[in-house]
Structure 1
Amino acid sequence: MQSQTERPDAVIDAPKGNWVDRYAPPRTRPWLRMSRADRPIGTWLLLLPCWWGIGLAMMADAPRWFDLWIALACAIGAFVMRGAGCTWNDITDRDIDAQVARTRSRPLPSGQVSLRGAYVWLAAQGLLGLVILLTLGKAAVWMGVASLALVAIYPFAKRFTWWPQIFLGLAFNWGVMLAYAAHMGRVDVAPVVAWLGAIAWTIFYDTIYAHQDAEDDAIIGVKSTARLFGDNSPRILAGFAILAVVVLGVATALPGRNLLIAWAGLAGFAAHLAWQLKKFEPDQGDVCLRLFRSNRDAGLILALFLAVAGLA
């Protein structure tokens, strides 16, 4: 079997041996790669706040059978809408991506997908996401509609602010309120506070990720917190890690039930962030990528304990 690095259509920074490169029919690969199906970490990071929201809702109310569908619908929706968001990002960044070593092999800048095809693919994923959203109730539908502006703005943020990671956090963590609303039929203070804490977490992990491109970004004039923080990144990221833990601690306390279980999960989450900071090397791209991907485990720890707290 031909290795990933030998394939002319391969994406440089996709995990080696990913299922798209190994098993997907050749004609589908460019579309799946545009949706980042070959790198599931983004889907996880979009999904995990949704599962946090379900846990918070169960802590505030009680578990329901419908929560199983909410969890599954969020998983499917995260995959689809993350794909749509990445497609939109590739459309808006196609000229920038062509100038960056890590991204020039993506389907659009490499010519594997046409601009018109990308728009059609974006619409198809958006429609599928809408169908799933409509099953979650009126409150969740309105929350989903409200998120569209954030999704649309994010790809442009790095052009006008040094803090594009904030815009990513605003959009990526919206699911904690959407999933809560799907269960409760409304949005309370707890998921809003959790959303704010999750934004601090996003700044933490996406700054680590952005350090891979810091040199290329400086050449082409793209802004990021990695460039803004520079050599001070470890110290500043420690502050955002603490902020995320503290604010999420407040959010888990608001439902007022099974707090010790929830905080045990938060302790595990905090320990994982501390481990990342210990291993963090800003000038080592492979280390940054590995640590970024490890945030799936950090988020799963908290999601598991919130689920137990909600079910107990």
Structure 2
Amino acid sequence: MTHQPDMPEPKGQVSDAVKGNWVDHLAPGWTRPYLRLSRADRPIGTWLLLLPCWWGLLLAAASTGRFGLFDVWILVGCAAGAWLMRGAGCTWNDITDRDFDAQVERTRSRPIPSGQVSVKQAAAWMGLQALIAFAILLSFNLPAILLGIAALVPVLVYPFAKRFTWWPQVFLGIAFNWGALLAWTAHAGALEAPAVALYLAGMAWTLFYDTIYAYQDTEDDALIGVKSTARLFGDSPRLWLRAFLIVTVVLMALAIILALAPLNNMLVLVVALGSAWFLGWHLAWQMRMLDIDDAQNCLRLFRANRDAGLIPVLFLAAAVLL
């Protein structure tokens, strides 16, 4: 049998993109640099931004005992908004980090440092995505709209955090879990304590998964002076990761109890608490599998957090249906 040569990688493919992704193989050629700026070839970030939105909506719906057509729109609107705002945020990140990205092996193939798009083109693309997302946001109630506007502050600050703190993952957590506050408010009409507890649980979860992600770049980050929790924790991250796991589970359980205990429905409460319990087991499995010296292992476990984040979605959806 003759050996079949490997298919060449598509022109301009980013090094850490999902192999065989639709952007590199199906999207029109002129759109690919812009879709790569939005990380459409790496969908995990959209999931990690979206899932806290769905947590907040479903927990709010379970607490009120109602889920209507507008809630379906909130689900869909959050999905579209997460894709757009993740894209706009990543484009902003690539604009601000273009000089750093050119010095890091994993990121030098991104569209700006590789010359696929100019900074002006990237800025225009960022603005277009943000405007469409804002149009979606306007369909929600006023408190949710105001929260959505406020979310721009951590989005703008995050790319600079690794320049001045060892904890840039905190700033990522602030930005990436804002949807838990927004989606709860879009359903309930007001921001309440359970949403805040859920938001803080999401921040702890972000610290967990993004620390794992950051171990891919520790050597390059050290050379160029970029800070991260991975560099801070060094060869001993497990104590910290275990702490993030525990805080995630405890705060998510607290959010569920605050939201659902007043219903006096033990079945609904127990089913919803399965969110925190089984999410915790998934994070524990990630810790057992983690090899911080293997970049591919870190990337694979980071991507596994889509499935981890879907666990609360399933249990909270079941609680809504009961």
Same fold (TM over 0.5): yes
CA distance in 1, matches of 2:20, 2:5: 10
Q: Distance in 2 between matches of 1:4 and 1:240?
A: 41
Pairing 1:210–2:220 present: no
Which residue is 2:142 aligned to?
Answer: 138
TM-score after normalising by structure 2: 0.95
- 8 A Cα contact 1:282 1:288, kept in partner: yes
| Contact 1:211–1:285 (Cα < 8 Å) also in 2 | yes
Tell me which amino acid in the other structure corresponds to 1:6.
E
CA contact (8 A) 1:12 1:105 kept: yes
| Structure-1 separation of matches of 2:188 and 2:243 | 33
4+ runs deviating over 2 angstroms:
1-8
2:38 corresponds to 1:27? no
Which structure 2 residues correspond to residues 61-140 of structure 1 after superposition, within 5 A?
A: 61-65=64-68, 66-140=70-144
SS at match of 2:236: helix
Gap runs ≥5 in structure 1 = none
Q: Give the whole-Å Cα distance in 1 for the aligned partners of 2:71 and 2:81.
A: 15
* Alpha-carbon distance between aligned partners in 1 of 2:139 and 2:311, rounded to the nearest angstrom: 28
Deviates more, 1:164-173 or 1:300-309: 300-309
Residues 1:212 and 1:143: Cα distance change in structure 2 (over 3 Å): same
2:197 to 193, 198, 210: 193
Please, which of 167, 173, 196 is the counterpart of residue 171 of structure 2?
A: 167
SS in 2 for 1:144: helix
For the pair shown, the structure with the greater C-alpha radius of gyration is 2
Where 1:38 maps in the other structure, the secondary structure is coil
Letter in 1 for 2:34: W
Give the TM-score taking structure 1 as reference length. Answer: 0.98
Q: Unaligned 5+ residue runs, structure 2?
A: none
What is the CA distance between 1:2 and its match in structure 2? 9.9
**Deviation for aligned residue 1:6:** 3.3
Q: Which amino acid aligns with 1:296?
A: R
Range with greater deviation from structure 2 (113-122 or 52-61): 52-61
CA contact (8 A) 2:10 2:24 kept: no
> 2:10·2:25 contact (CA, 8 Å) conserved in 1?
no
Mapped partners of 2:236, 2:255: distance in 1: 29
C-alpha contact (below 8 Å) 2:290/2:297 kept by paired residues? yes
Q: Report SS of the residue matched to 1:104.
A: coil
Query: How far apart are residue 247 of structure 1 and its match?
Result: 0.9
Aligned residue among 218, 221, 228 for 1:224: 228
> Percent same amino acid among aligned pairs?
57
Identify which of 274, 285, 308 aligns with 1:298. 308
Q: Do the aligned partners of 1:249 and 1:266 also contact (CA within 8 Å) in 2? A: yes
State the AA in 2 paired with 1:73: G
Match of 1:182 among 173, 183, 186: 186
Distance 1:103 1:271 in 2: 32
Aligned twin of 2:293? 283
